[in-house]
Amino acid sequence: MPDRMRWGLMRVAHTLRHRWRQWRKTPLEGVSMIARDLDGRILLVRHSYGPRAWYFPGGGIRKGETPEEAAGRELKEETGCECDGVFLVGRFEEEVSGSPHTAYVVTCVTHDVPRPDRREVVEARFFPTHSLPEPLSPHTAARLRFFQDPRNIVRGA
């Protein structure tokens, strides 16, 4: 299937999922992966659907998965990157599509070069923290501020 057709279908599916969640108000759990390379740059992705903003790789947590497992799986699916040591660094209670949402923020270091899957993710790149692309999604910006705040460093880790 040509990319443009696939991306159009992804946008329709995204809109339908958003409307379904608004109607059902089912609680959701998801993850955001703050993956860094050896130079400390942060991996961000752009999706084929939704707003044309930059996001951390991530997605839903499957039944029986830990947030760390889900974040590693989503990172691999969306970018082809893998991580060794994966660490939970935060949790956000928020609303997504009108539904309550628990977002777990996970971090790791990867040695891999990102290769977007070209279905869900059309672009995946590392950026220095002092030169991030615009626009960042609001949730991505909030998670990044949390991650960069020295008051949130886990002592002894």
Residue 52 lies in a domain: yes
The mean pLDDT of 127-139, rounded to a whole number, is: 96
> Is 156 inside a domain boundary?
no
Parent domain of 47: 3-149
pTM, two decimals, is 0.81
44 falls within a domain: yes
Tell me the β-bridge partners of 96. Answer: 99
State which of 45-54, 68-77, 92-101 shows the largest mean pLDDT. 68-77
155 pLDDT above the threshold of 50 = no
Q: How confident is the model at residue 7 (pLDDT cuts 50, 70, 90)?
A: low
Residue 14 parent element (H or E) = helix 3-24
Domains held by the chain: number: 1
**Residue 10 pLDDT > 90, yes or no?**
no
Per DSSP, 150 falls in state: G
Q: pLDDT value at position 118? A: 86
Residue 111, domain member (yes or no): yes
First to last CA, the chain: 46
Tell whether 116 is covered by a domain.
Answer: yes
Domain at 64, CATH number: 3.90.79.10
90, β-bridge pairs:
105
Question: Quick one: pLDDT band at residue 9, thresholds 50, 70, 90?
Answer: low
Q: pLDDT at residue 36 above 80?
A: yes
In a domain, 141, yes or no: yes
Residue 54 lies in a domain: yes
How far are the Cα atoms of 13, 42, 86, 138 from residue 50, in angstroms, in the given order? 10, 21, 28, 13
Q: Does residue 155 fall inside a structural domain? A: no
Phi, then psi, of 87 in degrees rounded to 5 = -130, 135
